[in-house]
Amino acid sequence: MSNMSNTKLWAITILGAAIAWVAFQIAPALQPVLIALVAAYLLNPLVELIEKKLKVKKWLAISILSILLIVFLVILGNLILSLLVNQATELINEFQSISENFNQVIEDMFVYLEKIGFSQTMLEAAKQYVAQLINWLGSFMESTITSALGFIFNAVDLVLILSMIIYFLASGKKMVRDLMDHAPENLRQTIINLIEGTDLVIWSYVKTQSLIAVLIGVVSTITFLLIGVRFSVLLGVIAGVFNFIPYFGSIFAGALATMIALLTSGFSQATITLIAVLIIQQTEGNLITPRLQGKSAGMHPAIIIILILVGNYLWGTIGMFIAVPLFGLARIFVAEAIKLIKQIE
């Protein structure tokens, strides 16, 4: 490799590192843009379907879809959101008594462990670990609820996201064509590969995970209602939403539902809830997800767990949701960057 090639390689490496650093720094501020991009991408097939079936122009198809979505969201808000807010409010109002019940359960557990022969040293260490776990779960739930409510009730962000969705739906393809037209000839295949790879990641992950989340949320809500778990709609929605977090999400949602059943209705209700949760999770893990995802995941479970932990460390709760698809996109960009570097003579 010549000196010029070495210079180019170092230049590309430094430029890539600079771009990665800037992207990391501005990532939180770009959340509305990313949400709008993904939403526009997922809604675009519906716009094209309306265009084709009704034989109308794109702007009219977007207007029709926007009206339908607003009607759907209003109906959903009246049917589900008000019920969620009521149950969340009720849970917050009863938090003190639930917390006292939880502390009593923990104390009874340690009394039992002491009776069967556990030493005081082991019990004290266990108490510290339990206290740390409870603090982490409390912080995690507080962060999640705060983020969710902040997003739902932040009118400025919602208006901004809706505006960008409409813009991307109307001009997204033109933006891609302009990018292709103005790109250097030797970079056009790379851009095509990036677009196709991004398309595959978003379509295979976001679409599939959204469908699975809806199924799990609906099934969990109906199941909790049938077996008499309190806050059933709230817990069902939590189960669906947290299903976007591989491994940790379903475990957390299932443990939360079981714990709420234990603290509000007793041991027998908690046992029934745990069995129901395990049946739902096993059905989802062994039947639903493999059929919908096939072999598209392509990542070792250990890598996924590491990604989730890193995402939580960098960006908090939202990082746990986006860590896996972001890594998929980063892997595509790195692969294309390596191809470009290899082309340097």
Q: 155 in a domain, yes or no?
A: no
Looking at residues 148-152, what average pLDDT do you find? 57
Looking at residue 4, what is its pLDDT? 46
Q: Report the percentage of the chain scoring pLDDT > 70.
A: 80
In a domain, 238, yes or no: yes
> What six digits make up the tokens of 206?
């976001």
Residue appearing with tokens 């008594």: 97
Domain of 307 in residue numbering reads as: 183-345
Assess if residue 198 is contained within a domain: yes
| Owner of token pair 């996109």 | 329
Dist. CA 340–CA 345, nearest whole Å: 10
Asked if the model's pLDDT at residue 36 lies above 90, the reply is no
Which of the two residues, 36 and 148, has the higher pLDDT score? 36
Residue 145's nearest CA partner among 87, 214, 68 is 87
* CA–CA distance, 296 with 204 (Å, rounded to integer): 7
Is a pLDDT exceeding 50 seen at residue 1?
no
Flag whether 201 is in a domain. yes
Q: Is residue 332 part of a domain?
A: yes
**For 174-208, what is each residue's pLDDT tens digit?**
887 787 777 777 777 777 888 778 777 777 777 78
Name the token pair of 91: 């849970």
**Is 90 exceeded by the pLDDT of residue 222?**
yes
Phi, then psi, of 294 in degrees rounded to 5: 60, -130
Where on the phi/psi map is residue 230: left (φ > 0), alpha (ψ -120 to 50), or beta? beta
Confidence of residue 279 (pLDDT cuts 50, 70, 90): very high
Question: pTM for the complete prediction?
Answer: 0.69
Angle at 14 between CA 8 and CA 18, to 5 degrees: 140
The helices-and-strands tally (H runs, E runs) of the chain is: 15, 0
More confident residue, 256 or 315: 256
Q: At what angle do helices 208-227 and 248-265 cross, to 10 degrees?
A: 10
The better pLDDT of the pair 282, 341 is held by 282
Q: Is residue 66 part of a domain?
A: no
What dihedral angle (degrees, nearest 10) is formed by the CA atoms of 307, 313, 319, 325? -20
Mean pLDDT in residue range 18-40: 73
User: Rounded to an integer, what distance in angstroms lies between the CA atom of residue 294 and that of residue 214?
Assistant: 18
Query: How many whole angstroms separate alpha carbon 338 and alpha carbon 128?
Result: 48
pLDDT at 225: 93
Reported as a single tens digit per residue, the pLDDT across 97-125 is: 777 777 777 777 878 777 887 777 887 78
Where residue 210 falls among pLDDT bands split at 50, 70, 90?
confident
Q: With helix as H, strand as E and coil as C, how does 290-332 read?
A: HHHHCCCCCCCHHHHHHHHHHHHHHHCHHHHHHHHHHHHHHHH
Tell me, rounded to whole angstroms, the distance of Cα 115 from its chain centroid: 43
Q: Which of 287, 234, 229 has the alpha carbon at shortest distance from 261? A: 229
- Structural domain contains residue 23: no
Does residue 19 sit within a domain?
Answer: no
Please report the pLDDT score of residue 120 as a whole number.
77
- Mean pLDDT across the chain: 78
Q: How many structural domains is the chain composed of?
A: 1
Which residues fall within 8 angstroms of residue 202, CB to CB, at 6 or more apart? 38, 41, 42, 325
Tell me what pLDDT residue 277 has.
93
What was the pLDDT predicted at 295? Answer: 47
User: pLDDT tens-digit profile of 231-243?
Assistant: 899 899 889 988 8
SS3 content of the chain, % helix, strand, coil (to 5): 90, 0, 10
Contacts of 151 (CB under 8 A, 6+ apart): 157
| Per-residue model confidence (pLDDT) at position 272 | 94
**Distance between CA atoms of residues 159 and 271, nearest Å:** 44
